Amino acid sequence: MWQRLSTYLYLRPKLILALLLLPPLLWFLVVYIGALLTMLVNSFFYLDGFTGQVVRQFTLSTYAKLLIPTNLQIFFRTAAMALAVTVASVIVAFPLSYYMARFASPRMKTFLYLAVTLPLWSSYVVRVYSWKLILAQEGIVSWFAHLIHLDGLLSWYLSSPILGGPSLSVSITGVFLVFLYIWLPYMILPIQTALERVPKSLIEASSDLGASPAQTFRNVILPLAFPGVIAGSIFTFSLTLGDFIVPSLFGNSSFFIGKAVLTYQGTSGNIPLAAAFTMGPIVIMIVYLLIARKLGAFDAL
Amino acid sequence: MLFKKISQPSSDQASLFLKLSAAGTILFLNIPLMLIFLYAFTTDEAGYSFPPPGLTLKWIPRALENPDLQSALFLTLKVATLATVLALILGTLAASAVYRFNFFGKETISFMLILPLALPGIVTGIAIRSAISLTGIPFSFWTIVIGHATFCVVVVYNNVLARFRRSSNSMIEASMDLGANSFQTFWKIIFPNIATALLAGGILAFSLSFDEVIVTTFTAGLQQTLPIWIYSQMLKPRNRPITNVAAMLVVLITMIPILYAQRITAETSDTEGETK
């Protein structure tokens, strides 16, 4: 019986394809794509201010609300933070990735690889939590600053108007540091993968042809590492755009997109506005992903 | 992939600056985790003072007896197990289809599968929430599982597809030539071949689900998973010592399987898990 079923299926590859593809496809179309579309539709509805009910009628007024200065500021602030985190993580990640790809012995590389992936795969919430411990007023940063007699500098920094705050754990700087810490491995690994693919002969050829190490770095290594940087930035940028945990735990009262969405959706039940808000990061990310695919970043994942 | 070795020794040495900054980054990544282990034993009940005024073991039994923590832990384990099973099935099916067949829109499949992870978590969260509230299904254990399974599929898919691409087709052809039918070939050739990829993908999916908090915030009703419990404790600290221990517990539960997954993928030289 199995034999006959096997033969039956073997002769009908289209049927096998359908059997294989249908469950995941249906799941994603219904649960995910369907959900995204629902959200899109929702963003064209509006919340009646008097009744507090969502009115299911096509309108662009919800999108118009996005354009008021406070909300534009939220978009701008979030994008600026995402950009800052992305740039900083490229700078911090590059030396380590470069060392891993070019100089580390195989054993060393295994060790470093573990040291990068362990934080990545240990719990997100716990890693955020650890920074609560670190940045607290009585925590390790203050202790260390005191130890090297820099408490003056720390309190001077904290008293600065935009970046400072009552303590590091309630400031924009805190938000930035935690984001950088959390997403850094996502930048290290793709850059390292990309660098590892640079054939050694290419570097030798470059120096044979008279390039200085700096020139080789700029003209050979950096361009080849670029897809890795793009791949990493997809993660750092997108994850920062959509995160509400870190700003709500470390930030001052200023809103980020994630926090705004949560507030509109949660406390005021304004799903249309929350949905419209979410379209911002979606559009940004889809454009970003398409460009990244063009640049060949998916090969470096 | 990451372990593909450059066999010849590097002729030039890394500069001191490069070594120091690499070491600094490694410390930056790992010191916070070590602090989690330290603070689980601190005697400081009211703050996060460093260095800890003293060390004690008493919080560990107290945390394990805490009913809130217990129920959160069990809920999280249940959700992660179910989400992993779903992800294993869906991910393997999708990977087999993409590997074996050419069809219209094939390129879009990976794109679609990675979307729930590549798009900001809040998008996935609010999208699933607005869809669920539209259907009128109450937010429950099952809505959490649906959300989690959706973003776990891609890690299984990536692992299995990478394994397929690395293994040669001739084994399968040989098996069929020698008279085995498709099912026998699957059980005796294909399944053993992808078993470790499934295991690694499953472990990654499990830990992904185990510590997810953003999507869960939107898809959970009144239930609290462990990460959500920790998050709520961070917003309004009520029981710091217990939270410290819970944090350590979560690190242990996610880290040990990951180390194991790391080992089995390293042996077969594929590490496709890093696309969280």
Question: pLDDT (tens digit, 9 = 90+) per residue, B92-149?
Answer: 999 988 888 888 878 788 888 888 887 778 888 888 888 887 777 888 889 999 999 9
Interface touch B204/A28, C-beta < 8 Å: no
Q: Could you tell me which chain B residue has the CA closest to the CA of A259? A: B122
Q: Residues spanned by CATH 1.10.3720.10 within chain B?
A: 67-267
Of A6, A27, A289, the CB nearest to B181: A6
Contacts of B112 in chain A (CB under 8 A): 28, 32-33
- At A47, which helix (H) or strand (E)? strand A46-47
Which residue among A114, A136, A261 sits closest to B262, beta carbon to beta carbon? A114
Residue A140 is predicted with a pLDDT of 85
Q: Report the sign of the C-alpha dihedral through residues B98, A34, B206, A297, in that order.
A: positive
Give the whole-angstrom CA distance, residue B118 versus residue B90: 18
CA distance B269 to B256: 20
The count of C-alpha atoms lying within 13 angstroms of the C-alpha of A207, restricted to the half-sphere facing its C-beta, is 11
CA dihedral A99, A100, A105, A110 (to 10 degrees): 150
Of A118, A132, A298, the CB nearest to B48: A132
Residues of chain B with confidence (pLDDT) below 70: 1-12, 266-276
Distance from B91 to chain A by nearest Cα, in Å? 7
Contact A119, A278 (CB under 8 A): no
A266: closest chain B residue by CA: B218
Domain locations in chain A?
Answer: 69-300
Architecture of domain A69-300: Orthogonal Bundle (1.10)
**Whole-number Cα distances in Å, A80 to A75, A177, A231:** 8, 14, 19
A13 touches chain B (CB under 8 A): yes
| Interchain contact A89–B (C-beta under 8 A) | no
Side chain identity, residue B60: I
CA distance to partner chain B, nearest, from residue A294 (Å): 13
Distance of CA A100 to the CA centre of its chain: 23
- pLDDT, position A91: 94
Those of residues 136-165 in A touching chain B at CB distance below 8 A are 136, 138-140, 142-143
Q: Nearest C-alpha of chain B: how many angstroms from A162?
A: 23
Backbone torsions φ then ψ of B230, nearest 5 degrees:
-65, -40
Residue A26 burial by CB count (10 A; 0-12/13-18/19+): exposed, middle or buried? exposed
Is A96 at the interface with chain B, CB within 8 A? yes
Residue window 191-210, chain A: list those with CB within 8 Å of chain B. Answer: 192-193, 196, 200
What's residue A259's pLDDT? 84
Among residues A269, A299, A215, A273, the alpha carbon closest in space to that of A59 is found at: A273
Nearest to A172 by CA among A164, A180, A183, A184: A164
Count of CB atoms situated within 10 Å of the CB of A216: 18
List CB contacts (< 8 A) between B276 and chain A.
120, 186, 235
B171 and B189 Cβ atoms separated by less than 8 Å? yes
3-state secondary structure string across B201-213: HHHHHHHHHHCCC
Q: Hey, are the CB atoms on B227 and A123 less than 8 Å from each other?
A: yes
Q: Over range A71-87, report the average pLDDT.
A: 90
Of A10, A181, A192, the CB nearest to B2: A192
Give the gap in angstroms from C-alpha A92 to the nearest C-alpha of chain B. Answer: 7
Quote the CA–CA distance of A74 and A260 in Å, as a whole number. Answer: 8
Query: Which H helix or E strand runs over B251?
Result: helix B240-267
**Residue B12's pLDDT is what?**
62
Distances (CA, A) of B12 to A103, A238, A281, B8: 8, 37, 44, 12
Contact present, B128 and B150 (Cβ < 8 Å): yes
Closest residue in chain B to residue A184, using alpha carbons only: B29
Collapsed DSSP state (helix, strand, coil) of residue A54: strand
Half-sphere exposure of A239 (CA within 13 A, CB side): 26
Using pLDDT thresholds of 50, 70 and 90, give the confidence band for residue A92.
very high
Residue spans of alpha helices (H) in chain A: 2-10, 13-27, 34-42, 61-66, 69-102, 106-121, 124-135, 140-147, 151-158, 172-196, 200-208, 213-216, 222-242, 245-250, 257-266, 271-294
pLDDT of amino acid A35: 87
Contact A125/B at CB under 8 A: yes
Using the structure block, give the residue that is written with the tokens 């030396």: A95
Query: What is the per-residue pLDDT for A298?
Result: 62
Judging by DSSP bridges, how do beta strands A54-55 and A46-47 pair with one another?
antiparallel
Number of A–B residue contacts, CB under 8 Å: 293
Give the pLDDT of residue B274.
42
Choose among B50, B172, B226: nearest CA to A139.
B50
Measured CA angle at B171 (ends B165, B175), to 5 deg: 135
Q: Is A246 on the interface with B (CB under 8 A)?
A: no
Q: How far is B14 from chain A (nearest CA, A)?
A: 6
Could B10 and A92 be called an inter-chain contact, meaning their C-beta atoms sit closer than 8 Å?
A: no
CB spacing of A23 vs B47 below 8 angstroms: no
Question: B119–A285: do the CB atoms touch at under 8 Å?
Answer: yes
Q: Which residue has the higher pLDDT, A263 or B1?
A: A263
Mean pLDDT calculated for residue range A115-133: 86
Nearest CA in chain B to A283: B119
**Per-residue model confidence (pLDDT) at position A299:** 59
pLDDT of B271 reads 44
Give me the mean pLDDT over the A46-50 stretch: 79
- The predicted structure's pLDDT at residue B272: 44
Instruction: With CB atoms and an 8 Å threshold, state whether A136 touches B48.
Output: yes
Query: Which CATH architecture does the domain made up of B67-267 adopt?
Result: Orthogonal Bundle (1.10)
**Any chain B CB within 8 A of the CB of A36?**
yes
Closest CA relative to residue B157, chosen from B105, B190, B201, B122: B201
Q: Does A177 touch chain B (CB under 8 A)?
A: no
Give the pLDDT confidence of B41-62 residue by residue, as tens digits: 888 877 787 788 888 888 888 8
C-beta neighbour count of B153 within 10 angstroms:
31
pLDDT given at position A123: 81
Overall average pLDDT of the A241-260 stretch: 84
With bands split at pLDDT 50, 70 and 90, how would you rate the model's confidence at A267? low
d(CA B144, CA B213): 10
8 Å CB contact of A275 and B266: no
